[in-house]
Structure 1
Amino acid sequence: MGNFKEVLGVNEVSSSKVIDAVWKALLAEFLGNLLLNFFGCGSVVVMLFAPALHKPDFLLVSLTFGLVIFVCVQSLGHVSGAHLNPAVTVGMFAVGNIKVIKGLMYIIVQCLGALAGSAILKALLPEEWHDTGLGMTTLNPKLTALQGFGFEFFLGFVLVLVVSGVCDPNRPEAKAAGPLAIGLAVALGHMGAISFTGSSMNPARTFGSAVISGIWDNHWIYWVGPIAGGIVAALIYQHALRAPTLTTVKIIERYSTVADEKELRRLDGNKDADNFA
């Protein structure tokens, strides 16, 4: 029973102190997805229907999604890890970085946050724009559902690969650039695939738009694709690409420091420098 509770992560939601931290993390995930759908889907509406624009501006949408993810990871990462995406959460679960109960709670609030963001966007837009899809991701009619799944698979793969790399505890130098790298990965995905699937990369993002717009065509590819890609990326990074342990790095640094100190002693004229250890 103890092992079963450990797998589920009961200890993560059992004590009052831990519960307080979990609620803060859930609020952070909710707010992050709310902002993602509000600003990201808003940029899609602007691209397609603002009177001043005469042709689609995919760069606008790509940068908006990338920037809002950058902002949210930068501001919320210390609270929840800023998954902001069921594909990231499931990927982290696959390598043991989050337990079942907490992971499910993350996914639920991610979907609710995206739903709230799309609902607020709809409430603030003119009524004649409500039939635009409100930023809903749709499959290019020239592609099959399987091809759409393939694109979403690689979108989830590249995102979780970047998340795994910048969150590697053995790469402390990558931490500062993490939010920017993750935001750029999202922007990259939109630049490369928005014409094919709308470049969801995020099941919660598409779920929120689908509920508000009522468009559910090929909805499964926006869940199965990114999540499958995220799992594969997390497993590959964990078992083949992760950085060497810090213990090795510390040993190298220690011997480098000793050598430097010996050299300084020689320069100072200390005859016993070679006996320094």
Structure 2
Amino acid sequence: MPPRRFAIGRTEDAVHPDTIRAALAEFIATAIFVFAAEGSVLSLGKMYRDTSTASGLVAVAVAHALALFAAVSVSYNLSGGHVNPAVTFGALLGGRISLVRAVFYWVAQLLGAVIASLLLRLATGGMRPLGFVVAAGEGVWHAVLLEAAMTFGLVYTVYATAIDPKRGHLGTIAPLAIGFILGANMLAGGPFDGAAMNPARAFGPALVGWRWRNHWVYWLGPFAGAAVAALIYEFLLIPAETPHAHQPLAPEDY
């Protein structure tokens, strides 16, 4: 059995139909997720002047959970249902996806988030996407730690339900479990920094709404949390003798 390793990928992978189809699936799924997720925030702001209420937090968290559940479900068979650059980064570190394919995923995810945010701005008559902001009184490094901890839980759930070769029938509920952990984390971290856990989710609204204050937090935190979760699960919890595929093409191989 070949050892677990970081996979660069081959040049021809960049133009392989499977890579193109997987990237397109990530683009569409991320656009679906960001449109529904950011749209729920804009909708709440239109209905209520003060959106910083318990009921508003619950509504937005549920909308994000349902949107991610749908987005992962519709892309799972083609790309593995990452819908998040941090998830792709975790899969890359674990050798579950090649660097070539990861780059395609990242570009597709960011473009999907931007297109969804642009469409939202057009459809709402020019409302600027709000994106994410560190709450007043919350230190930026506290926000980084919070994003890292929440993304750790998210990527750990992805590994346990969608990647682990021994997941068995648990894989059928992977999209639901991933959506649930996202919604739960938003209830925990939303009042502090918005609880992004997804650099693409933060990037699209930031670009279209031109809101960049402390934007780096929503890249550093998720990538750090994803890295820790992937390395722990991949190298400590998955037995070394487990068959390992470096270039997944379907969830059963992924």
Give me the identity figure in percent: 31
Aligned pair in 2 of structure 1 residues 123, 233: CA closer, same or farther (>3 Å)? same
1:189-220 Cα distance to aligned partner (Å, 9 max, x none): 11111111111000011010110010001111
- Tell me if structure 2 keeps the 8 A contact 1:41–1:136: yes
The equivalent residue for 1:136 is: 131
Aligned pair in 2 of structure 1 residues 173, 218: CA closer, same or farther (>3 Å)? same
- After superposition, residues 85-164 of structure 1 pair within 5 angstroms as 85-127=84-126, 129-130=127-128, 134-164=129-159
- After superposition, residues 205-220 of structure 1 pair within 5 angstroms as 205-220=201-216
With structure 1 as the length reference, what TM-score do the two structures score? 0.80
* Alignment partners' CA distance in 2, 1:246 and 1:234: 16
- After superposition, residues 169-208 of structure 1 pair within 5 angstroms as 169-208=165-204
Aligned pair in 2 of structure 1 residues 54, 72: CA closer, same or farther (>3 Å)? closer
Shift in Å, 1:235: 0.7
Partner letter of residue 30 of structure 1? F
Shift in Å, 1:240: 2.1
Aligned pair in 2 of structure 1 residues 141, 75: CA closer, same or farther (>3 Å)? same
Aligned pair in 2 of structure 1 residues 95, 12: CA closer, same or farther (>3 Å)? farther
- Tell me if structure 2 keeps the 8 A contact 1:170–1:243: no
Partner letter of residue 45 of structure 1? L
Match of 2:223 among 220, 224, 227: 227
* Alignment partners' CA distance in 2, 1:156 and 1:94: 15
* Alignment partners' CA distance in 2, 1:51 and 1:152: 27
Secondary structure (helix, strand or coil) at the match of 1:98 reads coil
1:80-106 Cα distance to aligned partner (Å, 9 max, x none): 001110100010111100111111111
Shift in Å, 1:55: 6.0
Aligned pair in 2 of structure 1 residues 166, 12: CA closer, same or farther (>3 Å)? farther
* Alignment partners' CA distance in 2, 1:166 and 1:59: 25
* Alignment partners' CA distance in 1, 2:89 and 2:206: 21
The equivalent residue for 1:9 is: 9
Shift in Å, 1:126: 2.9
Match of 2:38 among 37, 41, 54: 41
Shift in Å, 1:242: 3.0
Shift in Å, 1:153: 0.5
* Alignment partners' CA distance in 1, 2:38 and 2:92: 28
**Higher helix content, 1 or 2:** 1
Partner letter of residue 63 of structure 1? V
* Alignment partners' CA distance in 2, 1:195 and 1:229: 19
- Tell me if structure 1 keeps the 8 A contact 2:148–2:222: yes
With structure 2 as the length reference, what TM-score do the two structures score? 0.87
* Alignment partners' CA distance in 2, 1:50 and 1:32: 27
The equivalent residue for 2:75 is: 76
Shift in Å, 1:12: 6.1
Cα RMSD for the two superposed structures: 2.1
The equivalent residue for 1:238 is: 234
Higher relative contact order (CA 8 A, sep 6+): 2
1:95-139 Cα distance to aligned partner (Å, 9 max, x none): 100111111111111000000011000000033x33xxx231110
Partner letter of residue 136 of structure 1? G
